[in-house]
Structure 1
Amino acid sequence: NDEQTRKILTEYKKTLSPEQINGLTEENIRLQEWQSTPDSAEDIAKIPFISLTDIKREVEQLPIESATHDLITLLKHPIATNGIVYLSAYFDMNHLPDDDLPWVSLFSDLLGNLDTEHYTFSELANEIDIHTGGVSTEFNFYTDTIKPDNILPKFNMRSKCILDKTEKMLELAAEYTFKNKFTDIPRITQLIKETKARTQMMIINAGHLIAIRRMLAQNSRLHKWQDMTQGMDYYNFLNKLEAKIASDPQEVTDKLIALANALFNKNKLILSITSQEDDIKQVWQKISLLTSHIKTADNQSFENTFKPNTNNEGIIAPVNVQYCAQGGSFSQSGHEYSGKMMVLTNILRNDFLMQELRVKGGAYGILVQFSRQGNMFFCSYRDPNLVNTFEVYGKTSEYVQNFECTPRDFEKYIIGTMAELDMPYSPYQKGINSDSHFITGFTFEDRQQLRDEVLSTKIEDIRNYARLIDYVMKKHQIAVFGVETTLKENSNLFDVLIPAIPN
């Protein structure tokens, strides 16, 4: 911590002569001058780079065909996959109350780790390894493109195999997902403890994610739900559940069985198959091996309520650096999301905030995001500072308002942004991306508009975002995941100090 570092440096200084101390002082002055001096135009011009004229204007068309069969929506992605079949199932979760969300997270962790109707969990794992490329479950919170506040939660099952193994894959996927025995209390207890330990390790190792989510959760249901299923709130849930299963194991098993009955429903189910066109037809002819295990029910969407809060949190953790997050909603400032914000992100992340927080301030890195949901954030990564970091965030709008650069440099910012849009994707990932676009209503025209906005960005567009950033920064919505002594020294910045891992 800082106090130990001071003691070490004080003792070291006692061993130095006045000449050595002066030498170190002069060396630090030269370092600061070098850090503050921009590279010369001559040196920069030596670096080869492509031109905007080399960038393709049209967005890539991702193959997708949709049809409805017996309440099930089928998404077909005819792509050359070298004989591999990729299958995804998306079960709607809109009928679940938000109190069930941490249970869904645990439920996903349990699948594949319990005995099933026909296999022990180790036998099932061996069968899956022998016959398929894997079976897994996860859940995602998608957001509606037109109404970003509309969250679309889905429970996903994914699997893959070569075409000849399709029948076995479907049988094993059904066994993995629908046939679990939730009666082995000692095994479930062990898995809850393991999940709790993994979650604790994740929290400690991902302080930046914790700080961002907790900060944005003040006024974002999406980030509140993420914390409930992957963050500190989820850890607290597991902590209580560990005690609950010791005192009332039947209540826990009843809840898991009830959740399985509520989750798996043909109504609003989406099935996605990515493979060659003829192979997709063969898979679909055998799909009843999976779908015959799924019931049909008319579930009504549950109207979950969300109450914003204004608690700026200092999160005390067993770390020796800070993760300082500040941000909030920009939609109320009159701005809508645009691809031009991706260029702004690139500029801030690689220029102003990089120079101020990493090069000068000593932080390991900086995260910046403006999202389609109308939120933005800045977050430092492994940061030795706290107050200075928030002072830098406060100066960002002034930097943006007065932003200047050469046409060549600005073109580089746009090209760097296009690299994010033009990442190469595997056939599997193309299918997953197409599924996401279908679920959220993100059309081909939306994707083309985003690309056009990036490519048409001007310096004046960047300057126009100064008011947006100033609006959000003045709200002073923050969270810091960091060292106890540092947080307590600056407790005036926070409404509450809380432990990352409760005792």
Structure 2
Amino acid sequence: AHRALLTVVPDTAMEERERQAELARLKTIEGKLSDDDKRKIVDDALRLKAEQEAKQDLKTLPTLELSDIPMKFENVPSRDEQLKRAKVEFYPQPTNGITYLDIRTDFSALSIEQKDLLPLFARALTQSGAAGQDYAQIAARIAAVTGGLGAAPQVQSLAASEDYLQSFVLSGRALDRNAQPFIELLTDLVAKLEIEPRRLKEIIAEISTRLETSLAGLGFNFALLRAQSKLSSEGALNDRLQGVEMLHTMRRLAKQQDLKATIANLDEIRTQLFRSSSLRIIVTCEDAMVEPLERLLSKLIEAMPADAPGEEQGNATRPSPTETAPEARIVPVPVAFNVRFFKTVRFTHPDSPALLVLSNYLRDTFLHRELREKGGAYGGYAQAGVASATFYFGSYRDPNIVRTYDVFDQAMRWVTEQPIEDEHLKEAILGACGDVDPLESPDIKGRREATNRATGFTKQARESFKQRLLQVTKEDLRRVTKKYLQDGPAVQTTVAGPDLIEQARKERPGLFQLVSPI
């Protein structure tokens, strides 16, 4: 047998070499320009600037009117059952012969250290052996009888209070004819999971490698979560589960040689999560499948461990918010991801609709032009988190840092000092209506309704919110901008390459109080 060994070594000087080559090429071109050529370049740049700042005639485009917006949300029928010790919610929908199933459980009583392991547990749950079968055999069963399985911890904001749910969700779908082997597979995973050290080491390596090689794509998400972690416990937990802290956890795990203690921890997490009394099973399926699925799910619930007599669930644990100091995180990319967060109000507060309209207005009338068209960023955002009581400005793959934070400041003055056109306000309201009432497939309808019920986003509350959206005025936009953005507390995080961060620190000393690598 013959074997070829290919060793790939990164060229650490390639980026600088390409940059110097580009500078040399530009210098060569500049040396060949005549005075007329230079004047033409300046004239073209001025014409481009004028074109970017010119008002567009939007009246030539077809548009909706506010009177076209339906005020009622669709009723999503449901059937609630108590099977053994677990609650099961059925949402009959025309699913074309597919059953969608979520097993939801509460992880709030886990310790902070155990919560840090949830992203790893989520991957191990669907990519390990179980019930005497190894990973390859379980993977073959998943491919044969399902359309895919996934698991993840979720932090879900409550509509009317400064609190949140901590839910772990195992999701899957299968053809109705495969319902029995599908649920038998889920039973084996949650009741008879077998994690081997060699397989776990592979999973850790896969997660770590994906994260390390995707920093350019994940930079905005890391900046977003890190900034939000400064405002609330909810944000801090999300950062531990999906952001910079999660990456640090995976790096620590990747260095471990002996994984026996980690495996024992993961098994304890599984036992605590999948107690039958804490299960909430969400099923979206054809109406005819409800009764057959009830019988199958009863067997799944029987296989779950029950609480011991007199045993009580532990108290919920919540991480504290991180330091509010503005920070920069260094990653090996030639761009920046800039985020500024503001603390606002929850969904049921009277000002919440105006904040959602404001985010649409700023994004469409100001930030897109200033950050993307003029600044060169791939994207410029304003987003109101009406569930999490937050509002943020953000830029994606941005060549600027200081200029972008100046644009964030200008955006607020754009609302309070410049006239707001009727057409722009209408478009912002229409966009906000689309945000709260998007088109959904049947499986999403069931899952969304289940989440709304658990978090207090009732049909009545959503219809009231939508009605208030249509009543938002120009003065409302100016008022909430001043109250929550200009006068309210703000935090910010930048994730960027070292050269951009160093340039920003020289240009504006004190912009960041903490600078460290991701």
Which residue does the alignment assign to 1:222?
234
1:304 is displaced (CA, Å) by 2.9
Which residue does the alignment assign to 1:91?
105
1:136 is displaced (CA, Å) by 2.4
Q: Is the 8 A contact 1:196 1:235 kept in 2?
A: yes
* Partner secondary structure for residue 202 of structure 2: helix
Which residue does the alignment assign to 1:235?
247
> Following the alignment from structure 1 to structure 2, what is the Cα–Cα distance between the partners of residues 439 and 340?
25
Which residue does the alignment assign to 2:10?
none
> Following the alignment from structure 1 to structure 2, what is the Cα–Cα distance between the partners of residues 168 and 19?
76
Which residue does the alignment assign to 2:168?
155
Give yes or no for the alignment of 1:294 onto 2:309.
Answer: no
Of 472, 484, 491, which aligns to 2:498? 484
1:484 is displaced (CA, Å) by 0.7
1:485 is displaced (CA, Å) by 1.3
Please give the per-residue CA displacement for 1:392-420, whole angstroms capped at 9, x wherever unaligned.
Answer: 11122221123534434432322233233
Mapping for residues 432-471 of structure 1, pairs under 5 Å? 432-471=447-486
1:238 is displaced (CA, Å) by 1.4
Mapping for residues 175-190 of structure 1, pairs under 5 Å? 175-182=188-195, 184-190=196-202
Which residue does the alignment assign to 2:404?
389
Amino acid aligned to 1:377: Y
Q: Which residues of structure 1 form unaligned runs of 5+?
A: none
Give yes or no for the alignment of 1:361 onto 2:375.
Answer: yes
1:336 is displaced (CA, Å) by 5.9
Mapping for residues 301-316 of structure 1, pairs under 5 Å? 301-316=315-330
Runs of 4+ in 1 over 6 A off after TM superposition: none
* Partner secondary structure for residue 194 of structure 2: coil
1:198 is displaced (CA, Å) by 1.3
> Following the alignment from structure 1 to structure 2, what is the Cα–Cα distance between the partners of residues 257 and 379?
39
> CA-atom RMSD, angstroms?
2.2
Structure-2 change in CA distance of 1:51 and 1:408 (3 Å): same
* Partner secondary structure for residue 64 of structure 2: coil
Amino acid aligned to 2:237: W
> Following the alignment from structure 2 to structure 1, what is the Cα–Cα distance between the partners of residues 143 and 322?
45
Mapping for residues 94-493 of structure 1, pairs under 5 Å? 94-147=108-161, 149-182=162-195, 184-244=196-256, 246=257, 248-297=258-307, 298-331=312-345, 338-371=352-385, 372-471=387-486, 475=489, 477-491=491-505, 492=509, 493=511
1:358 is displaced (CA, Å) by 1.6
Of 478, 489, 495, which aligns to 2:513? 495
* Partner secondary structure for residue 398 of structure 2: coil
> Following the alignment from structure 1 to structure 2, what is the Cα–Cα distance between the partners of residues 307 and 365?
28
Q: Is the 8 A contact 2:94 2:286 kept in 1?
A: yes
TM-score normalized with structure 1 length? 0.91
Structure-2 change in CA distance of 1:330 and 1:56 (3 Å): closer
TM-score normalized with structure 2 length? 0.89
Amino acid aligned to 2:201: T
Q: Is the 8 A contact 1:88 1:272 kept in 2?
A: yes
* Partner secondary structure for residue 287 of structure 1: helix
Percent of matched pairs sharing the same residue? 23
Question: Number of aligned pairs?
Answer: 490
1:131 is displaced (CA, Å) by 2.1
1:313 is displaced (CA, Å) by 1.4
> Following the alignment from structure 2 to structure 1, what is the Cα–Cα distance between the partners of residues 75 and 42?
59
* Partner secondary structure for residue 239 of structure 2: helix
Give yes or no for the alignment of 1:9 onto 2:26.
Answer: yes
> Following the alignment from structure 1 to structure 2, what is the Cα–Cα distance between the partners of residues 303 and 223?
14
Please give the per-residue CA displacement for 1:177-217, whole angstroms capped at 9, x wherever unaligned.
Answer: 332212x2222112111111112234331211111111121
Amino acid aligned to 1:498: S
Structure-2 change in CA distance of 1:191 and 1:304 (3 Å): same
Q: Which residues of structure 2 form unaligned runs of 5+?
A: 1-14
